[in-house]
């Protein structure tokens, strides 16, 4: 045992990935409690990474089907902000590389803010192209939220440097596109491209609402993102309607009549 690695040395090797199968085998047979604790942590980490990889592969099935049909650039599209009382609706379109991998990619609603921010940077760094479309509250009132969300999606595609030849979109038919498209119910949970778009859209909109919180304090925009929380509703009654509010949405609509 005099030549055995110290527990700290083993920890560093496991953290850095600088180990061989032979070294792992020897550590598994090492009876020191500290080494066994490290190995258990390592086993859980490997299992988690395996689960994430398997989920990513499962969520790549629609993209892989499109590649098999001869498509080259497949964009996922999603939006954020249909339900809030204030702020824009934001859509994003993302083309991921065919053989890429982003661990933990999932529907933005299933992720913490910290994880979304980290994945946002990874997506921007690794994607082939992305685009964002933003439609403000005035336009939402003019055409309704469904049409505004569709407009934001089309603008997101138009903003891409590389245009897609196929689009996967979350629960919205987009016949206006020049390329083929497929509308998927709960697509942000079933497609890596749509999940990536959901994260870009969500993070972009959240950042806009945090800026709005500075411009219009008291409504809690940095926390509620424009949704009708108790604080937001109380501020509406106390401070009134801002230019960011959607006049066609209740209870803003009712307040405007008072």
- Binding-site residues: 78-79, 170
Annotated binding site for a divalent metal cation: 78-79, 170
Q: CA-CA distance, 41 to 169, in Å (whole number)?
A: 38
Q: Token pair for residue 204?
A: 């972009």
Using only the alpha carbons of the chain, give its radius of gyration.
23
Q: CB–CB of 39/47 below 8 Å? A: no
Residue with tokens 């499962």: 58
Q: CA-CA distance, 124 to 102, in Å (whole number)?
A: 11
Q: Which residues contact 89 (CB under 8 A, 6 or more apart)?
A: 79, 80, 81, 82, 134, 135, 140, 145, 148, 149, 152, 205
Strands (E), the chain: 74-80, 89-95, 129-135, 166-170, 180-184
């Amino acid at each position: 045992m005099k030549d055995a690695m110290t527990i700290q040395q083993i920890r560093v090797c496991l953290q850095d990935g600088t180990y061989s199968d032979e070294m792992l085998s020897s550590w598994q047979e090492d009876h020191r409690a500290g080494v066994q604790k490290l190995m258990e942590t390592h086993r859980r980490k490997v299992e988690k990474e395996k689960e994430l990889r398997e989920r990513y592969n499962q969520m790549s099935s629609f993209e892989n089907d499109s590649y098999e049909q001869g498509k080259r650039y497949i964009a996922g599209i999603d939006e954020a902000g249909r339900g809030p009382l204030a702020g824009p609706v934001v859509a994003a379109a993302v083309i991921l590389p065919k053989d890429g991998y982003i661990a933990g990619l999932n529907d933005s609603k299933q992720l913490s803010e910290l994880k979304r921010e980290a994945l946002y940077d990874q997506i921007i760094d690794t994607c082939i192209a992305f685009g964002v479309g933003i439609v403000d509250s005035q336009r939402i009132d003019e055409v309704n939220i469904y049409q505004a969300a569709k407009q934001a999606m089309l603008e997101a595609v138009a903003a891409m440097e590389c245009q897609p030849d196929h689009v996967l979109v979350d629960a919205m038919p987009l016949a206006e596109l020049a390329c083929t498209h497929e509308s998927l119910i709960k697509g942000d949970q079933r497609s890596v491209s749509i999940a990536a778009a959901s994260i870009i859209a969500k993070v972009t909109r959240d950042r806009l609402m945090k800026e709005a919180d500075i411009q219009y304090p008291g409504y809690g925009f940095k926390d509620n993102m424009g949704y009708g929380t108790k604080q937001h509703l109380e501020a509406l009654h106390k401070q009134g309607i801002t230019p960011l509010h959607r006049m066609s949405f209740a209870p803003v609509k009712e307040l405007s009549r008072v």
